[in-house]
Amino acid sequence: MSSGSTPGGFRPRRSVLYMPSSNQRALEKAKSIPCDGLILDLEDAVAPDAKPAARAAACAAAASGDYGRREVTIRVNGADTEWHADDLAAACAAGPDGIVVPKVSSADDVLALADSMDRNGAPGHTALWAMVETPRAMLHAEEIAAASDRLTVLVMGTNDLAKELYAEHVPGRAPLLTGLSLALLAARATGRAILDGVFNDVQDTDGFLAECRLGREMGFDGKTLIHPGQVEGANATFAPSEQAVEDARGIVQAWEDGQNTELGSGVVTYRGRMVESLHVDTARRTLAIHDAIETLG
């Protein structure tokens, strides 16, 4: 059962939390975690012998409607695994908000997945979320993002990307910035949402918050998380600050006042800064994000 979008069409995805579907207590706890989205995981977090039971549990959870306003998705096992076909068929029948597929590296992969979702009867509201986590995916990110209207979200798989690059996990993520930027450019060029990858050290709060800030500054819509303790920090970091909301309202008001003068105005200022239409567009997006978050309560 899809929980739908917020009024105005913008859907906050500040915090999207992976939850192991083999852990019934975790699935129950997820109902009270204030994250924007959930990825009920059938892949990395589930041992091979537990995958059939986890599949049934994830699909029952996604179909239950018990997760309120949270966006509920299911991460299936990759197309090159023995579990993929059964995972995809079951997930399509459950009708979550999205189906997350790992290791999507080409437009052909997307087309095949979209076709499989159609053949398995996935409802129209069930989107494809493509994990991009290989060098090939980074180099073909725009083609991936544009391949199908069923695809609405790109998810960075930064652990696998670092592994395939032979890169180290370092503060600031310099080895990954090229890939992050290419995927982000692809998402913005094609009108898709994009989520930053996970932060591995759940004890390192300062490091996590620094990585959230970097992701926000780059332009990511939110962050995928591996622990409920990371939700609050992601929610705060990827939401507009009070000052940003105040400035956005002021910019829009100044612009509208300027346009409503008798002769119109080619130059509008707010707090001494020149305001152009591009600044107004940014301000309106900030207010849309703020309003959508406020609607969530």
Name 17's Cβ contacts closer than 8 Å, sequence gap at least 6. 30, 33, 35, 37, 38, 39, 224, 225, 226, 227, 228, 230, 231
pTM of model > 0.85: yes
Please indicate, yes or no, if residue 3 is contained in any of the structural domains: no
Q: What is the pLDDT of residue 8?
A: 47
Domain's final residue, options 237, 256, 288 = 237
Q: What is the pLDDT of residue 261?
A: 63
Collect the ranges in the chain with pLDDT lower than 70.
1-9, 260-266, 297
Domain's final residue, options 237, 263, 287 = 237
Domain's final residue, options 213, 237, 261 = 237
Task: Report the domain count for the chain.
Answer: 2
Please indicate, yes or no, if residue 115 is contained in any of the structural domains: yes
Write the pLDDT tens digit of every residue in 77-111: 999 999 999 999 999 999 999 999 999 999 999 99
279 three-state secondary structure: helix
| CATH at residue 195 | 3.20.20.60
Q: What is the pLDDT of residue 268?
A: 87
Please indicate, yes or no, if residue 258 is contained in any of the structural domains: yes
163 and 278 part of one domain: no
Q: What is the pLDDT of residue 24?
A: 95
223 and 274 part of one domain: no
Name 44's Cβ contacts closer than 8 Å, sequence gap at least 6. none
248 and 262 part of one domain: yes
Dist. CA 227–CA 103, nearest whole Å: 22
250 and 222 part of one domain: no
Please indicate, yes or no, if residue 65 is contained in any of the structural domains: yes
44 and 164 part of one domain: yes
Q: What is the pLDDT of residue 5?
A: 44
180 and 262 part of one domain: no
42 and 131 part of one domain: yes
Locate tokens 């006042």: which residue? 257
52 and 105 part of one domain: yes
278 and 213 part of one domain: no
Q: What is the pLDDT of residue 257?
A: 83
275 and 148 part of one domain: no
- φ and ψ at residue 100, rounded to 5 degrees: -95, 125
Q: What is the pLDDT of residue 185?
A: 98
CA distances from 18 to 44, 140, 197 (A): 10, 26, 11
Dist. CA 233–CA 202, nearest whole Å: 12
229 and 280 part of one domain: no
Q: What is the pLDDT of residue 7?
A: 39
Name 284's Cβ contacts closer than 8 Å, sequence gap at least 6. 248, 252
Cβ atoms < 10 Å from Cβ of 31? 13
Please give the residue range of the domain that contains residue 128: 15-237
95: left (phi over 0), alpha (psi -120 to 50) or beta: left
Write the pLDDT tens digit of every residue in 107-146: 999 999 999 999 999 999 999 999 999 999 999 999 999 9
196 three-state secondary structure: strand
